Structure 1
């Protein structure tokens, strides 16, 4: 049985890491997380042998929540609205959490492997939303999921550097307009990009 003080230390390390990664991204070293948590690096290593395992523990809950959001959108909204709303969710989540943004764009952490380990296929759900929107004629057919991830990465990079708080919403609107099939509006839903993620 894990001792109560060990459980407290693990919780303290996890809470500190969540705050550090969210504010500063994945570049924060483990020894700095240990210092901020008031424990030794050996304590961190006992609970999380690698930095990847530490972020795995953090990302699991986020991936589960994002997959639940994707499922709900697929059920409750028209295909175009579901896809663009989820794109906006991902952009908003990345803006709130630099560590997640780093992971989403493949900088220093394999979020695909982390998602697979949780049993929640985040990219698979996102890709299905894309294909449903394409089948509905709302997204140009020559776009693939790699294109969508590149566009998301661009939105996250701009958000990180921009002083304008409306930069993300503006870029998501530009992405939405650019993904419409040539020669048609391809709306299939409202143009609203505001998400609950922005209020969390």
Structure 2
């Protein structure tokens, strides 16, 4: 492959990611891939050469954000207040899940599908959240019977419900209600 061809390929990939980010923000993660390719000024074949599946394109758009969520979990784990670290991370997870309509469903689906291009990033986020949850449970500040899968499902559900409301504060309010149910005295 010539240097010009590689440069064009890098440009096309970057353009597809930038356009997909805009299209996902406007129409959600189920936006037409043909429309993404058209807006990027490339053919659908070029899109599929770079991103063989919708999940691969979503991964390219979200991968950095998921990596940041995982890094944040590691950085806050030793902050001294395990509950606060968990809740801060959970709020960020819910807000990032609400960024694009349809994303909560994509994330939960990717966690169940090991063949999904998005699986590894979602798995990394899940493991990072699990470490924070375990620390909060061991400190006795979060109910002991809660699993990370339940917690992520709750956060994704909150993000989905927030998408459905014209109220921009809906996600934060619903998450506040969910968080009150995490207290050890409320169960477990």
Range of TM-score over shorter length? 0.7 to 0.9
Q: Aligned equivalents of 2:105 and 2:63: distance in 1? A: 15
CA contact (8 A) 1:159 1:168 kept: yes
1:34-76 Cα distance to aligned partner (Å, 9 max, x none): 1121221122122223323222322321221111111122122
Q: Say whether residues 1:73 and 2:76 are aligned partners.
A: yes
Deviation at 1:124, TM superposition (A): 0.6
Q: Aligned equivalents of 2:53 and 2:166: distance in 1? A: 34
Cα RMSD (Å) of the superposition?
2.8
- Structure 2 gaps of 5+ residues are none
Q: Say whether residues 1:55 and 2:61 are aligned partners.
A: no
Deviation at 1:142, TM superposition (A): 1.4
Q: Aligned equivalents of 2:28 and 2:112: distance in 1? A: 11
Q: Say whether residues 1:152 and 2:127 are aligned partners.
A: no
- 1:130-145 to structure 2, matched below 5 A, reads 130-145=133-148
CA contact (8 A) 2:102 2:160 kept: no
Q: Aligned equivalents of 1:120 and 1:158: distance in 2? A: 23
Q: Aligned equivalents of 1:59 and 1:8: distance in 2? A: 18
- 1:29-178 to structure 2, matched below 5 A, reads 29-98=32-101, 100-106=103-109, 114=117, 117=120, 121-178=124-181
CA contact (8 A) 1:159 1:167 kept: yes
Q: Which is bigger in relative contact order (C-alpha 8 A, separation at least 6)?
A: 1
Q: Secondary structure at the match of 2:29?
A: coil
Deviation at 1:162, TM superposition (A): 1.2
Q: Secondary structure at the match of 1:39?
A: coil
Q: Aligned equivalents of 1:117 and 1:107: distance in 2? A: 8
- Structure 1 gaps of 5+ residues are 185-200
